Amino acid sequence: MRSYITIVIIAAIASCTGCAKKQETNPEAEKAAVEAADAWLQLLDSGKYAETWEEAAAYVKALSSREDWQKTFQGARQPLGKLISRELKSKTYTTTAPGAPDGQYVIIQYTTSFENKKSAIETVTPMLDKDGKWRVSGYYIK
């Protein structure tokens, strides 16, 4: 049940581009968040699911065990097959996200193609963690 709740929270944070109250643009934050998201996605694309948990935001790690996280991502990503292409579609800086504490977030969308899913939108939501590092707090594929 706890992992289901975590998935729902992660999906709510990641998928709610229109729900987030848009703040002033913050190009520095957006750039750093995109770099963090890209590095995290490389781990995900390589099947390093446990490492994606290690690199996730502390807020999310407190909601899900490493093992549950790994099983969830393995079940969600393996059927899609290998990554074919990924292109940055949009990025939005915000200080609020539904179901998550106030903070600094960048909601990033990518147009993505996988071996077994030709057209997808990936939404990755890094947040500025307490240690000052951008870490992924949400991931959703549509």
Q: Give the DSSP H/E element, type plus range, for residue 35.
A: helix 27-45
Give the C-alpha distances (Å, rounded to integers) separating 66 from 9, 51, 77, 89, 114: 16, 9, 16, 30, 25
Q: What is the model's pLDDT at position 23? A: 52
Q: Give the DSSP H/E element, type plus range, for residue 107.
A: strand 105-114
- Looking at 3.40.309.10, 3.30.420.40, 3.10.450.100, 2.40.280.10, the CATH number of the domain 2-141 comes to 3.10.450.100
Cβ atoms of residues 41 and 120 within 8 Å: no
Which pair of structure tokens corresponds to residue 23?
A: 């703040």
* Amino acid symbol at 83: L
Which pair of structure tokens corresponds to residue 106?
A: 């960048």
Q: What is the model's pLDDT at position 74? A: 92
Give the C-alpha distances (Å, rounded to integers) separating 89 from 22, 31, 74: 17, 14, 25
Backbone φ and ψ for 111, nearest 5 degrees, come out as: -90, 120
Q: What is the model's pLDDT at position 10? A: 53
Q: Where are the domains of the chain?
A: 2-141
Quote the pTM value.
0.83
Residue in this structure with the two tokens 């949400």, named with its chain if needed: 138
* pLDDT tens track, the chain, 142 positions: 444 334 444 554 444 444 444 556 899 999 999 999 999 999 999 999 999 999 999 999 999 999 999 999 999 999 999 999 999 999 999 998 888 889 999 999 999 999 999 999 999 999 999 999 999 999 999 9
